[in-house]
Amino acid sequence: MRGDRALTERILNVLRPYGSNWSGTLGRGDLVIPQREIPRLIHEIMDAVHEENEAHQEAGDRELFEVLMAARRTASVQDAADLVRKHFLVLLR
C-alpha cells in the first residue's frame, strides 16, 4: 500500500541520523541512539503513525455520493471499480 510505504519512509527518516557507520563492533544497519533522545524519537514515531491513521478516516456521505455518481458515468464496471479504489481505501472483510 502507498500509505504503508510513506509511513515506513517517514519512520526511517526519523531513525536515519542514528545509523552507525562501519567502525568498531557495530555493523551496517545498527542504530546508536543516545538515551536522552529516545523519548523524542518515540514521540516522532507515534506522531507519524497518528497522522497516517487520521488520513484514513471514513468517507462522508457526500464524498461517497459524488464518487458513485461519477462511477455510474464510466464506460465499464472495471473503470468504476478503479475510480472507487482511486478515491477510497477498500478493505476486504
pLDDT in tens, 53-79: 776 677 888 989 999 999 999 999 999
Structurally, the chain folds into a number of domains equal to: 2
Is 38 in the same domain as 10? yes
Is 45 in the same domain as 64? no
Is 50 in the same domain as 63? no
DSSP letter for 74, please: S
Residue closest to 90 by CA, chosen among 58, 46, 68? 58
Residue closest to 72 by CA, chosen among 62, 83, 85? 83
Is 88 in the same domain as 49? no
Is 6 in the same domain as 39? yes
Instruction: Give the Å distances, CA to CA, from 65 to 20, 72, 80.
Output: 51, 11, 13
The residue ranking higher by pLDDT, 1 or 10, is: 10
Please check the confidence at residue 2 and state whether its pLDDT lies above 60. Answer: no
- Domain span at residue 92? 59-93
Please check the confidence at residue 1 and state whether its pLDDT lies above 90. Answer: no
Query: Which three cell numbers mark 9?
Result: 519512509
Look at the pTM and tell me if it is higher than 0.75.
no
Measure the CA–CA gap between 53 and 68, rounded to whole angstroms. Answer: 24
User: In the chain, pLDDT over 70 holds for what percent of residues?
Assistant: 85
